[in-house]
């Protein structure tokens, strides 16, 4: 390593998830299955929203971009975890570790802002319906994406600014299957009390604050829905419930990672797998099952694919 950060550690050893061959095989099957389902489900949402003119609205525009973020997020740690399961020596370079932290925090920060934007979209649609198309204009949607990406990058760079110059002079074993700040900071050969507080403030308190802000906003929207006729509110209630479930699934593991005073290693690893593989899979499932328009659009797309397949078959034979 260069002398800029006075490190002698050029790589880190990942202990992984388990040393038991049976558990490794089970985790391999589980991770491969849900990784492929996550990629397929999110890609299907992006293609459906893009190709179906009935879904060209701000809500589905944000949903498609959330699926793109999930496609990226589940590809940061999951593929390496799957490849490392049967390796005796699980090693990641210092630069590879820093890159993994950078992308996970940049994408996570972007997704956090997108979830807040989706809550704002539902607030305007339900509480200010006459102004919805004016407020959530195409320009506003693009602006939201730019802001989300900028905040995600700023958050990630702020985290890394304190880490890249830390001295790593001896211990290089991470009790995890991927690199993250809390585990990495423990290996630094210096007093990291202030740095741990900065990381907690930057990731933990921000996640907790955003979570409570979102929950309060959804409670306010639900209260507003009670004033609407039951027929008009049922569709909105179904959409809102999907949003609330996704928010809980996204913020739950984050709050535990950064605010738990004495985290359990086994629980920490379980939540890490949940966050890396299961959450990106559950997002498209929840939004699809709880949304009638998405289900109808997917049926139309499936019918088009079947019609196209029949035409190809007739042309070939």
Supply 303's token pair.
């019918």
Name which of 161-165, 184-188, 232-236, 246-250 the model is least confident about.
232-236
Name which of 148-152, 207-211, 313-317 the model is least confident about.
313-317
Give one word for 176, left, alpha or beta, with left for phi > 0 and alpha for psi -120 to 50.
beta
Q: Quote the CA–CA distance of 15 and 91 in Å, as a whole number.
A: 9
CB 76 within 8 A of CB 272: no
Residues 65-103 have pLDDT tens digits of 999 999 999 899 888 888 888 887 888 888 888 899 899
Name which of 45-49, 113-117, 184-188 the model is least confident about.
184-188
* pTM of the model as a whole: 0.85
Instruction: Please give the distance of CA 139 from its chain centroid, rounded to a whole number.
Output: 25
Q: Quote the CA–CA distance of 15 and 214 in Å, as a whole number.
A: 36
Residue 30 to residues 2, 67, 284, Cα–Cα distance (Å): 40, 21, 18
Residues 161-193 have pLDDT tens digits of 878 778 888 778 888 888 888 888 888 887 777
What average pLDDT is seen over the chain?
A: 83
């Amino acid at each position: 390593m260069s002398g800029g950060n006075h490190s002698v550690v050029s790589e880190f050893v990942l202990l992984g998830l388990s040393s038991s061959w049976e558990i490794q095989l089970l985790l391999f099957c589980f991770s491969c299955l849900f990784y492929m389902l996550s990629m397929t489900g999110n890609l299907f949402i992006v293609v459906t929203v893009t190709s179906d003119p009935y879904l060209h609205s701000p809500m589905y525009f944000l949903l498609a971009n959330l699926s793109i973020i999930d496609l990226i997020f589940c590809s940061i740690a999951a593929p390496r975890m799957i490849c490392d399961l049967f390796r005796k020596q699980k090693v990641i370079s210092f630069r590879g570790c820093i890159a993994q932290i950078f992308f996970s925090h940049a994408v996570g920060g972007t997704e956090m802002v997108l979830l807040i934007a989706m809550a704002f979209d539902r607030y305007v649609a339900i509480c200010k319906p006459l102004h919805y198309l004016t407020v959530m204009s195409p320009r506003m949607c693009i602006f939201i994406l730019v802001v989300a990406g900028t905040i995600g990058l700023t958050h990630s760079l702020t985290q890394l600014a304190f880490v890249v110059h830390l001295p790593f002079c001896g211990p290089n074993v991470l009790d995890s299957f991927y690199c993250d700040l809390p585990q990495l900071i423990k290996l630094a050969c210096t007093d990291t009390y202030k740095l741990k507080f900065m990381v907690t403030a930057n990731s933990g308190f921000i996640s907790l604050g955003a979570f409570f802000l979102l929950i309060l906003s959804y409670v306010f929207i639900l209260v507003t829905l009670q004033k609407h006729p039951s027929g008009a509110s049922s569709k909105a209630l179904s959409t809102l419930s999907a949003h609330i479930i996704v928010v809980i699934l996204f913020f739950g593991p984050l709050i535990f990672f950064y605010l738990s005073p004495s985290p359990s290693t086994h629980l920490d690893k379980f939540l890490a797998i949940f966050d890396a593989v299961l959450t990106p899979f559950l997002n498209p499932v929840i939004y699809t099952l709880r949304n009638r328009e998405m289900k109808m659009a997917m049926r139309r797309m499936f019918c088009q694919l079947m019609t196209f397949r029949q035409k190809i078959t007739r042309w070939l034979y």
